[in-house]
Amino acid sequence: MSEAAHAEGGDSQAAMIVIGVAIVVSLIAGVYFFTKSKLSSTEREGRDSVARSDVELITAQLQLYRSNCGMLPTQAQGLKALLEQPATPPLPKRWVQVTKELPIDPWGNDYNYAKPAVKSRGAFDVYSSGRDGKAGTRDDIGNWESPK
């Protein structure tokens, strides 16, 4: 075999190796991005689930507050009334601390309270502003949702 033919065979072998490596790298990248998107979806679902649980907890705390105090906190008093005795009227005749701390939503924001309710059929709304952190958008998670 001449040197030129031998070199030509070596070049095609090197090209096949490069193509093989490129295919393997492409497969690994595909698996990585597929796995990452699945993990992101699972993380989103997990955060949404935590927010729903927190909303249920705060809703129950507000119902306990109403039972103990004879009224719900006003919009101005807000959820802080569950922790500290309100200073703005109307003041409850019999105030009881319902919780020592309020949860923060999974995106690092305070939960929102609206009285009277805007979205729920009850007397008030409790909700997380969701992933975007903006109240009144599609990703809000509140007590108006049916349990999932």
- CA 9/CA 18 separation, integer angstroms: 14
At residue 8, the pLDDT reads 57
**Is 148 among the domain residues?**
no
Calculate mean pLDDT across residues 19-40.
63
**Is 101 among the domain residues?**
yes
Is 4 a residue whose pLDDT tops 70?
Answer: no
Q: What single letter denotes the amino acid at residue 117?
A: A
**Is 111 among the domain residues?**
yes
* Token pair in block for residue 86: 């309100």
Encode 69-91: b = buried (16+ Cβ within 10 Å), e = exposed.
Answer: beebbeeebbbebbeeebeeeee
**Is 17 among the domain residues?**
yes
Strand partners, 126: 113
CATH number of the domain where residue 39 is located: 3.30.700.10
Domain span including residue 47: 3-142
The structural domain count of the chain equals 1
> Model confidence over 57-110: pLDDT tens digits?
999 999 999 999 999 999 999 999 999 999 999 999 999 999 999 999 999 999
**Is 117 among the domain residues?**
yes
Report helix, strand or coil for 87.
coil
User: Which of 74, 56, 41 shows the shortest CA–CA distance to 127?
Assistant: 56
Report residue 36's pLDDT band, with 50, 70 and 90 as the boundaries. Answer: low
DSSP summary character for residue 136: T
Calculate mean pLDDT across residues 111-132.
96
Is 121 a residue whose pLDDT tops 70?
Answer: yes
DSSP summary character for residue 79: G
* Token pair in block for residue 41: 């979806």
